[in-house]
């Protein structure tokens, strides 16, 4: 499997936008997605054998980073590609001199919670009924890690 991580911009965003749409029950609009490709955001896509299969979008403000979104296409989940994207994101945060990283994840997304925990993210608090679901709402978990430079 030949993979590379490339920066996303407005010229190459559409394939990544389609992946983002497939990863979420309530995906972002294209205009919101395009806004996330401008500073202070930073965004990268994972390309495997010339196919865009994953991405992340980060936000960097005053030394604090937020992982806004990270996704991998369904057929490619469970192959360590989320870890590859998260490792790249953490490296980019260090290169941007961030001191800490924050994120929020659906409580039901235990695969992601385990990935973040394995990468030294700690649970901070619950956002009650934050995310919409097909049958109501579910909690969001706020997690954080401090970067060692």
125-136 confidence digits (pLDDT tens): 999 999 988 899
Containing domain of residue 120, as a range?
3-146
Question: Domain tally for the chain?
Answer: 1
DSSP-assigned letters across all residues of 64-133 = EEEEEEEEE-GGGTTSSHHHHHHHHHHHHHHHTT-SEEEEEEETT-HHHHHHHHHTT-EEEEEEEEEEE-
25-38 confidence digits (pLDDT tens): 889 999 999 999 99
Query: Is residue 69 very low, low, confident or very high in pLDDT (cuts 50, 70, 90)?
Result: very high
pTM above 0.85, yes or no: yes
- Which residues are designated catalytic? 104, 116
* DSSP 8-state class, residue 136: S
C-alpha–C-alpha distance, residues 145 and 75, integer Å: 29
* Residue range 43-70: mean pLDDT, rounded: 96
Tokens of 69: 């979104």
Share of the chain above pLDDT 70, in %: 99
Angle between helix 81-95 and 110-118 (nearest 10): 50
CATH of the domain at 48: 3.40.630.30
Between 134 and 103, whose confidence is greater?
103
The length of the chain is 149
Place of tokens 């994972």: 46
């Amino acid at each position: 499997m030949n993979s590379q991580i490339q920066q996303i911009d407005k010229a190459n965003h559409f394939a990544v936008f389609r992946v983002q749409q497939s990863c979420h029950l309530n995906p972002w609009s294209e205009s919101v997605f395009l806004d996330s490709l401008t500073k202070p955001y930073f965004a990268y896509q994972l390309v495997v054998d010339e196919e865009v299969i994953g991405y992340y979008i980060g936000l960097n403000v005053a030394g604090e980073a937020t992982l806004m979104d990270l996704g991998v296409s369904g057929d490619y989940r469970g192959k360590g590609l989320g870890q590859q994207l998260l490792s790249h994101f953490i490296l980019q945060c260090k290169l941007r001199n961030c001191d800490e990283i924050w994120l929020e994840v659906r409580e039901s997304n235990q695969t992601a919670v385990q990935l973040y925990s394995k990468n030294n993210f700690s649970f901070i608090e619950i956002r009650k009924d934050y995310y919409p679901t097909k049958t109501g709402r579910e909690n969001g978990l706020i997690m954080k890690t401090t970067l060692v430079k």
